[in-house]
Amino acid sequence: MWRALVVAIALTAPGALAQDSTVWSTSTGDVSSTRVYDVVAEQSDDIPAAIERSVEHMNFIIRPIARHRLRVTNPLPQHLQLDIAPDTITVHLGDAPPAALPRDGSAVPWRSLGGDKCQISGALAGDTLVEHVISHGGQGETRYVMLDGGKRVREDVRITSSHLPKPVVYSVVFTKAE
């Protein structure tokens, strides 16, 4: 549920993923391509600290529950795989279920790492893939920003919920696997 809360307001319009830049294009025209990245932990934010900043002012009874749920669904992902096809971009982030984002920008059902039912969609904006997740407990936005022509990716996460006093915000950096 809380990983599913990673998306602020969806600005997704039909056809949003169709307007991709070169870094989000398949390298061989209509044929799919796969890109695999490994985490660069020393260049990434401390996710437990970001969670703590969000929950620190919660009621002392609720705080450990929120902290636990957020930590379970927001571990530091060790790998990122992007399967880029003409009709979808599929994001494999750590141990989370794959998220197949239709290039037409439509929302599709998805289950979060914690097993919560969500709606997920995506939009391309230049060198950035913006993933929107909406669940019954909140929403989130994850931005996958291509750096150095696709050699590195920065994942910027923002989780919001009416249950959280302030958003959970963190970034994770990945480099292309050799």
What's the token pair of residue 157? 């996460």
**For the chain, how are helix, strand and coil distributed in percent, rounded to 5?**
20, 40, 40
Is residue 96 helix, strand or coil? coil
For 4-18, the pLDDT digits (tens) are 333 332 333 334 444
Q: How many domains does the chain have?
A: 1
Residue 151 belongs to domain with CATH number: 2.40.128.20
pLDDT value of residue 32: 87
**Ranges of residues in the chain whose predicted pLDDT is under 70:** 1-23, 25-30
pLDDT value of residue 27: 52
pLDDT value of residue 149: 93
For 65-96, the pLDDT digits (tens) are 999 999 998 999 999 999 999 999 999 999 99
pLDDT value of residue 26: 57
Q: By C-alpha distance, which of 96, 154, 93, 95 is closest to 129?
A: 154
Question: What is the domain range of residue 23?
Answer: 3-176
